[in-house]
Structure 1
């Protein structure tokens, strides 16, 4: 089993490097960074790229990015039958993964949920989403005791990242559904990265921030008095009636069709790996550090319970993704590739 760490000069990797000291990862600290880079990458891939057959390899060729979307995979990488099921490679940024998936150089990838929808549109339906692997990782933290509900955000100043990407759309949707005008009832200051947002809280320039895991866990240990005020998963579910989604596993349909039994075995092993990620925190955290998914095992172990690692398929997957995509589409159609995915986007098993 080989692990290929391919470094990139794009913004996602630069952010990862800047966060190495506090142990946070590029994908999780700025989900929006990966999404922005991946959207640009999709737009540069030729429409008529000829896919290579994936039947030549026995194991499913799977790509991962740093952060929560890949945490659920790590336990299957050390299983006795791992070499027969998965050929895993780690990449520094989504724009490296996109062309490989489009051309058929890899079979599947753990990616932000909106990127999966964009890839579906770009490949004319050649890919499908196999499972949701990560629910929401966004939390509102406060250095104080003012915020105990979304309503308490009215009149406040909140710092965050992700301007023009999914974190902004999620925040604006939750605020609006709670009767708060995001343009007039609250001041939202967007920072280029999570470290900048946190530095404003540390300096007393702001007391409230929306940040992702595992950065939240790291931040709580750095700022005395900082607490989690709101879980955006809970707030989303209250107003949307479904779960907030962050990451998915997207797979080429030809790879599934080439060997349906192989893919079914892979999915079984993936589910077992996710179960282990939620029960064996210490072992999973050690693997997250070993494979470069999170810089430090100690941080990963603390963050794992809040990273909402799941293995969600079938009707529940479709319901949660459809609701999520509709909110993104209403905010900016290009965030999901220009149109809502059709039914054949959802892997039926």
Structure 2
């Protein structure tokens, strides 16, 4: 695959990976559904009924894998013979996504895995998980060379993002499993911008950040090094995969439009493949920067290889998430809504 975006797209389109979605045609695509209302439909020149899907993605690694999908399967760009037309929004806050799912203004969304479980519990099954899209993306960074293991964090101050979400539970679990009570670490929860400021002002500061925030910090300050990959630390424990990002949908939407959901998932898988192709990082980075999923294209180009993109559905998705949720549940039941999700939570896993 060529490294320029235009050639990447031309090659990708010739593959016609979906039986229901052929190559894009701008004239036909202009007649697709506007997608501004949930499940709005129209007819293309070829007679394929399009269903509008209101899709939301978090900025950062959880949204990276969907960039190609959002750009080239919108109401304006979706191929004429494709039944899906996306109305996409990128936001920075999990709460904004969950609110949209609850009030029905979002049909499908990319969120953190613990958020998905919590939301399913709060809505009494109103949310189902469709796929795992992101594995571990957390890193311990420091100025200096004092941290070689999780145990080395004892007695240290760590600036971190993600309180009340996957990062907090993962960090606490890894500390505990390495013989460190989290109370022995002064964890100061902040925004990514505040963490960056603290790292800039300290001579021996330590932080925990996900990519691309971690990538941006190391690009900005050459004195900051990657001390630990929390994915590697998790793997050492033999507790399965560190599944941090997923795709969820409203149960009502799923039940009303099962064919649309299946077509969407096929497209999402193709998008993950495009975004994770090591020969096409430049083109993928351009999309991520354009859509505001990262601060800019330069950060995206360095961050994408560390985003640990994946695409697990059905039984594989269920097995991966259940193992991860079991760890979170044992550490803190509230982290996943107080109980393990029911089987019905896992779409297509029967």
Describe the superposition over 1:181-212 as per-residue Cα deviations: whole angstroms up to 9, x where unpaired. 2223xx32314223333333333354322111
Q: Does 1:67 align with 2:60?
A: yes
Post-superposition offset of 1:237: 2.1
1:194-343 correspondence runs (5 A): 194-204=192-202, 206-279=204-277, 280-343=280-343
Q: In structure 2, what is the equivalent of residue 117 of structure 1?
A: 117
SS for the counterpart of 1:183 is helix
Query: Would you say the 8 A contact 2:132–2:310 is kept in 1?
Result: yes
**Structure 1: runs of 5 or more not aligned:** 1-52
Distance 1:150 1:165 in 2: 20
SS for the counterpart of 2:244 is strand
Post-superposition offset of 1:155: 4.4
Say what the alpha-carbon RMSD is for the aligned residues.
2.4
Query: Would you say the 8 A contact 2:112–2:166 is kept in 1?
Result: no
Structure label with greater radius of gyration:
2
Query: Would you say the 8 A contact 2:144–2:204 is kept in 1?
Result: no
Aligned length: 295
Post-superposition offset of 1:342: 0.8
Post-superposition offset of 1:176: 1.1
SS for the counterpart of 1:211 is strand
Distance 2:262 2:189 in 1: 42
Rate the CA distance shift 1:148–1:122 in 2: closer, same or farther, 3 A.
same
SS for the counterpart of 1:221 is helix
Query: Would you say the 8 A contact 1:134–1:247 is kept in 2?
Result: yes
Distance 2:180 2:163 in 1: 18
Distance 2:54 2:90 in 1: 13
Rate the CA distance shift 1:204–1:290 in 2: closer, same or farther, 3 A.
closer
SS for the counterpart of 2:241 is coil
SS for the counterpart of 1:276 is helix
Describe the superposition over 1:146-197 as per-residue Cα deviations: whole angstroms up to 9, x where unpaired. 322323334444332334443222111111112222223xx32314223333
**TM-score, with structure 2 as normaliser:** 0.76
Rate the CA distance shift 1:228–1:347 in 2: closer, same or farther, 3 A.
same
Query: Would you say the 8 A contact 1:101–1:107 is kept in 2?
Result: yes
**Structure 2: runs of 5 or more not aligned:** 1-36, 42-50
